[in-house]
Amino acid sequence: MNASDSLTALIQEDQFVGWTCQLDYERAVVLTCDQWKARARGVPHNCFLVATALEEQHQGEVILLRVTGAAPLPLDDELLQARIQRLKARQIPSGENVSFGDEFTFGALTCRILGTFYIQDESLRLGSDMESYFHGCGLGGDCELCQSGTRGGGA
């Protein structure tokens, strides 16, 4: 196995749990939903995640994350109000499956950045921090940094 394969082996696409929507030198916020978390058989507190861009040309680094809790989303207050209204309107449970729409399944995770995996001298290494980060990379737009090979993306 060459060094590049070691880095690629860290990524388990069938365990995809979300997109990195906020990133700085110390923490990442990962947008996730119930369906993705269920497919990965859960995302326990303090578990490890790896984050990388999904595009092949951006996979020179993989960021190691630790889930430290839930993160607020901008619409949390409005969603809580809507949930409460729906719960108030519900009848006593009779076994029927009630669906409130996909927007109620989304949440976010706060993660502490533990380091960055990278290749040096044909060996897989783990650095103790991040060199840089970019807010818009990996969001599907026309980001010049993404097109030039700068890292960003999913978790």
In single-letter form, the type of residue at position 120 comes to: Q
Q: Where are the domains of the chain?
A: 3-91+103-147
Cα 30 to Cα 18: distance, rounded to the nearest angstrom: 6
Cα 36 to Cα 123: distance, rounded to the nearest angstrom: 32
CA 47 to each of CA 25, 50, 55, 112, 114: distance values in angstroms, whole numbers, following the listed order: 19, 10, 25, 11, 12
Calculate mean pLDDT across residues 82-86.
Answer: 76
pLDDT above 60 (res 155): no
pLDDT above 80 (res 69): yes
Instruction: Name the pLDDT band for 99 (thresholds 50, 70, 90).
Output: low
Cα 147 to Cα 80: distance, rounded to the nearest angstrom: 39
- Measuring CA to CA, which residue among 151, 61, 73, 83 is closest to residue 110? 73
Q: For residue range 19-45, what is the model confidence (pLDDT) as tens digits?
A: 998 888 899 999 998 888 888 888 888
**Residue 100 has what pLDDT?**
52
- Written as one string, the DSSP assignment of 62-115 is EEEEEEEEE---TTHHHHHHHHHHHHHHPPSP-S------GGGGEEEEEEEEEE
